[in-house]
Structure 1
Amino acid sequence: MESLAQDLPNLSSTHTPVGYTPEVVEYINDHPEPEPSKSDRVWRSHVHIGSELGLIDFGGAAQTSGWGWYFLLNDGAMLEQALVQYALSVAKKRGWRVVAPPSIVYSHIAAACGFQPRDQNGEQQVYTIEQADKDRAKPSLALAGTAEIPLAGMKANQTFEDVELPLKTVGVSRCYRAEAGARGVDTKGLYRVHEFTKVEMFAWTLPDNVEEEYFVTPAESTSESIFDEMLSIQKEILQNLGLHCRVLEMPTTDLGASATRKRDIEAFFPSRREKDDGWGEVTSTSMCTDYQSRRLHTRVRLDKANRKLDFPYTLNGTALAVPRVLAGILENHWNEHDYTVTIPEVLRPWMGGADKIQGDHHKHGTGSY
């Protein structure tokens, strides 16, 4: 009975388009090349730029860990730290509390958040950790695919007082995605990797509807205002990094088990122009109502409803996933004539004040292509 119940996804919201097609809500920044036929701009993929400037090493990583891993080098490694610091600074000034969570979680916590070991295509999503024989009786462990999982787990089996909500946290962590097989094949470079750093927002809010009012739209919804706040943080970050993006209301077929509503932001990647017109997902925001809190036994005591216990709503959203944003910056801010990448102004304080990343062919030269 429990496993049948676990298979039921959350209901989808009235904002969610039914079917396979997302709805384009708005754009961020201008398109760098609206009419390719009239433009003589030379675009390079981040794989080329990263090798040329000595910022990324895929070959060494393939020998060390296999395909889907990478080394960030020199200014590439510094850019990762700058992106993390910048994303944290944006969330922190809006009152989000910074958390550094563990990367290893119990498998049942991941499952409660809606992450199953296998996805719809039967592909492995989660890396599980092999237990020694003596530990076989202990609960199994997995590597977290996103900080959303340990952050949600942090309040499992706990009860909030209603005055404590909304609680807004932002976590920096390494994320691990097995994602073997079909989807991994088409992507070279940093677009789909097995391990990466991500800054993730996670919030608990009061439930929208108390008592019997489930089908009535609440006068003011905290979960909706937090959803909007997450989106505005994402938009601020991407706008200031100078990436051209579009915001999408995702359709029913694209929602994971836990989400009732999801908005993704896709950035323009010149290297993906042959595929999806250059669009690639860089952030995602999901509203999960009480799907996760119910499974994790996270509750809130409501003073308005005579101290009755209810389940808080949870929301999660990417503040910044490093490899894709880093790839987007390299490709969009590449200058062909002097072989440099312009560093977005907001990142310069963490890049020693430099405004460009320059390669040194004699030192880092990687030969011809």
Structure 2
Amino acid sequence: MLKNKYGHFSDGGASYTVTDWRTPRPWINVISNGQWGLAISQAGGGYSWLEHSMLNRITRWQQDTVGDHCGKFLLLRDNDTGESWSITPQPLKPAFEKYSCVHGMGYTVFNTRAFGIEAEWTIFVPQNIKCEVWTLKLKNVSGRKRNISLVSYLELLLGVFPDWHREFHNLFVKTKFDRKTNSLLADSNLWTAPLPGDAGWNKGWPFTAVFAASAAPSSYTCDKEEIFGAYNSWHDARFLKEGGALSGRTGMGFEPIISMKFDLELADGETKDINFMLGALKHDTFAKDYPAYIKALKKPQALLKETRDHWLELCNRFIVKTPEPAVDALVNYWLKYQTISCRILGRSAYYQCGGAFGFRDQLQDSQLYLALDPARTKAQIKEHATHQKKDG
């Protein structure tokens, strides 16, 4: 539907399929359930946050809409040939034999093929858990047996964005590996969010970030220098050139990342699946809440269906039919979804990512619910009234 050189609407307008990733500017999906949120572009750039996208950013990101080179990545390495590539266009820009990025309501899916390996990577935010779930399917279509490594990579911030004292703040982040749940966990002893009535720079981050996998990694590291080496970029990253096992380094005193490595053997035509979860939990309820997060790794398809059904049911409460398909796609799906997920729940994007509650903005945005769920508009008006000062 409405095809152009970069892509087309799909699923009757409920999703958009990007077929040429070199769009004029990043084409992003902002996905949020009101607690956990993420922004992800057609190139693989983006970031994640908990509750507030400026004060409680989980992963590092650089606001650069020209380069769009910072994100959470999955990479592959052929251990026989030494060739390395990324599943998304960034950061290695492989010469894909096949590429598409589907931005849907509550989810994004990358379908790529490079060096004889097909990958399907789905990222979504469940409705009732403060996390994001990734499902990855790899298929060997090369006509021969493959010995490959899958590597995950994301950089940790765990605090306020932008990070004015990056190297100083890195000193307070502590990581560890939990073998029972195949999880890397990260805490920070410093949180500089300017919260009312607190001690400013004299408080710790009250959460634990978790990155878990459905399978045990072959090796892992939380030290960025181990991946890159000093002064290197992605295109001459030491680990991608040399291969081998990661050291298992965790703790403090280095640039903190989350990286897991999985050594895989794929026969011709064979498919392997692995799931990931990235989230954050409060310290005082971690033990009680964590099992639900790990369970998300075991039933991702049910959670994905729940997410897709939620957005479709909400948007389908009020449908228009006009002579113009573009109007229908926007009014029936994307104006609703963007207003709710990006503006009301997420309050973040690529050009503005401040997380603030705008008094006028939120009231204006809540008008959308008049045709979908009028009680939500009423509740938003009441919420605003509680913050209205006597002097106006």
**TM value normalised by structure 1:** 0.29
**By percentage of residues, which structure has more helix?**
1
**TM value normalised by structure 2:** 0.27
**By percentage of residues, which structure has more strand?**
2
